[in-house]
Amino acid sequence: MTHSTERPSVTTPPTTDLDEATALRLQLADQLVTAGHIRTPPVDQALRTVPRHAFAPEVPVRKAYANDIVATRHSDEGLITSSISAPWLQADMLEAARLQPGHRVLEIGSGGYNAALIAELVDPTGHVTTVDIDPAVTERATRFLTQTGYDHVHVVTTDAEHLPTGIVPDGGFDAILVTVDTWDLPWIDALAEDGRLVAPLRLHGYTWAITFTKRDGALHSDEPLIVCGFVAMQGAGAWTANRRTIPGTGVHLSWEDGTPLPVDQLAPALTREPVVAHTQVIVRGQEPFDALTLYLAGALPGFCRLSVDPDGENGVLNPPPKHWPGAAIVRGTSLARLATERIGDGDDGNGLYEFVVHGYGPHGHLAAQEMAEQVLHWQRNHRAALCPRITVHPLADGDDPASTADSAHVFVKRHTRVAIGWPIIPGTAALLTDDDGRYLLHLRSANKPIWRPGQWALLGGNTEQGETCDQAIARELDEEIGLAVPDLTGFVTLDTLDARGAFKDRVRVYHGTLNTPAHEIELREGIQLRWTRIEEIAEMTTDPGTAAVLHAHHNAHQPRGRQNAALPVVEVREPRDHRSRSIVGAHLVLIRDGAVLLGKRHPSSAFAPSTWHLPAGHREDLESAVTCMVREAEEETGLRIPERDLSLVHVLDLLDPGSTTPRIGLFFAPSRWEGEPLVREPECCTEWRFWPLDALPEPTVEYTRVALDAISRGSLYAPMGWS
């Protein structure tokens, strides 16, 4: 994300005739001011006052004042378990916390130095409590705080997941700063209303330092997100990567938020060359794109993080770096992952890259296309936003996390529900007319994966980060035709909806006049320019949104819209595909000695509670029915059945009462299998039992009875519910 470029009103004292530590401390503060991390005089004064080297006596003074972390404790495996954070990040977080004299502040994750900085900011009228789970860390912090004159800081050894009774002041803390990598935020109740919480929160494997204000019992982010790294939370709040390894490849997929999916079936996908879906979305070499990965994590079901063993032959092109795992999705036997391709050096020499998506497996092209479409959606609607808005609500007793776990841009944690809202920043388009009442259209390339390829459309494009729409349309016209149109004014807002009526994209349309022949205009992008009359657009391959805007202008009796005013809305809906869509389910008909295997559904099951049913499940995205059957059989019963040993024995064409979506039930019988049925999903099924085909138990799912009866009669197809 971006940082504020506003410079603080701070003064820097001279650094001559000072001891080395003081000179280095003031020099570091100067660097942080110049870089924009220090933005207010109190934070500046704190960083110039507290002796950082006194909290890191094991390292040379120069290293203590480097703009980097100082590791202070390691695990037996060599992992850093405690450190003094990088000064730039400490300054950013302290600025975001907006600490004032008299504030009561909780720091989670001790070290001493940051607590001393906080103590300087809240002065003796405030109170600072710092907690850590490691007694060695709190002993060290206590010792150094005492030696440096900050012995009034309250140091507590505890697991911060559950704060001890009496540690939270009446009314809650005015601010909470978390300095360890945390997967959840269980401290909402400990924060005062209107209090500030700054925490490095993990969302789908990446960590962002996020600043929240508590309002009406929930946390609301109000600062740009900062990509960062901290030591991992220990104790009850520790997170698990939920990592799965694709056999024999050295490729690992992690689901920290969301349900892990099977990965064994993905090994063959990595033995073939991937397909590449180009997005035409460009990023500069030093430009962060963490907002895109966060957007994809919420927008794509089955999202995960992909990492690889550095020395393995895994078939992954353009592997992600070790500490920045790639964005990926799993679709049955296929997967796709976000990557980049260098397309030039860029103006700064750091490179210019295009986002591409690599698809692996038999349906890798479809998975890649799905991810690429979301990249384009982010580009058109959200990229120009400074940051998303994050809201965190505590989970109340009795809440069902599963009820919202699959919602787009919602992450359900142990204690909280995290919802991410993405501001829509409109694209821009220019409706240019001449004195003859014609409209200037340009033909878009049909050979690029761009919006409306091969169609006639208005000039314009996306708003870039930090731009207003007025600035964006002026830039786009300069880039596309090299002209400035002085009288541009807002005309309408064009909203594109999909066939179901869901929002897809928004464009602010400007109207202006231009009386230059098309052949005299230098077209820098696209194929061709043309002045077009309204009656001609029906004979052209015209973007539907463009056609709607032209008709709105043609039918208007007076000019619409004003600069910076709310504009009338023109909606255009994409055509509906009237072909029927069905839900596909796979059902296992395992018969042994004249008896069929049935399972008793759990009493709290959403479908057919306390009722007998075949092992079954719905096909997942881009998964064949027979692959679904193999997966469901192993997940539910532990039985291992090769696909080649399954035969289709029945098709049930089912329309449930009151439903408008048909279901196709495919029933497969195995010729052989390995293992005995086990209850692998006790939350869904309580037992497996073989029942004689002529004496099925009560109650049995009705369509299961119908299908088994048809199978016993040798009937391959049966309709149910259509009459």
Helices (H), ranges, 300-394: 364-381
C-alpha to C-alpha distance for 85 and 225, rounded to whole angstroms? 17
Q: Which two tokens stand for residue 235?
A: 């104790």
Beta bridge partners of 489: 511
CB 447 within 8 A of CB 532: no
Q: Look up residue 269 and give its DSSP letter.
A: G
- Residue with structure tokens 């050295």? 250
The residue from 82, 85, 221, 334 that is catalytic is 85
Long-range contacts: 449-453, Cβ < 8 Å, 24+? 449/277, 449/278, 449/279, 449/280, 449/372, 449/376, 450/280, 451/376, 451/380, 452/543
Query: Would you list the DSSP string of 87-126?
Result: HHHHHHHHHHHT--TT-EEEEES--SHHHHHHHHHHTTTS
Q: Which two tokens stand for residue 588?
A: 């296992």
SS3 211: strand
Long-range contacts: 394-400, Cβ < 8 Å, 24+? 394/188, 394/189, 394/217, 394/218
SS (H, E, C) 162-200: CCCCCCCCCCCEEEEEECCEECCCCCHHHEEEEEEEEEE
CA distances from 561 to 440, 484, 505, 556 (A): 20, 20, 20, 11
Distance linking the first and last C-alpha atoms of the chain: 57
Cα radius of gyration rounded to whole Å, the chain: 31
CB 684 within 8 A of CB 608: no
Would you call 690 exposed, middle or buried from its count of C-beta atoms within 10 A (0-12, 13-18, 19+)? middle
Beta bridge partners of 672: none
HSE-CB of 201 using CA atoms within 13 angstroms: 27
User: CB under 8 Å to 14, separation ≥6 — which residues?
Assistant: none
Q: Look up residue 452 and give its DSSP letter.
A: S
CA–chain centroid gap for 682, Å, is 31
The answer to whether residue 85 is catalytic is yes
**Summary count for the chain: helices (H), strands (E):** 13, 37
By C-alpha distance, which of 368, 300, 287 is closest to 334?
Answer: 368
C-alpha to C-alpha distance for 205 and 181, rounded to whole angstroms? 11
By C-alpha distance, which of 181, 185, 154, 203 is closest to 83?
Answer: 181
CB 384 within 8 A of CB 177: no
CB 462 within 8 A of CB 556: no
Q: Which two tokens stand for residue 642?
A: 């090769």
User: CB under 8 Å to 130, separation ≥6 — which residues?
Assistant: 106, 107, 108, 109, 110, 112, 114, 115, 138, 141, 153, 154, 155, 156
By C-alpha distance, which of 419, 575, 537, 551 is closest to 492?
Answer: 551
C-alpha to C-alpha distance for 402 and 118, rounded to whole angstroms? 39
Q: Look up residue 332 and give its DSSP letter.
A: T
Beta bridge partners of 276: 358
Torsion sign over Cα 90, 28, 38, 50: positive
Residues tagged active-site: 85
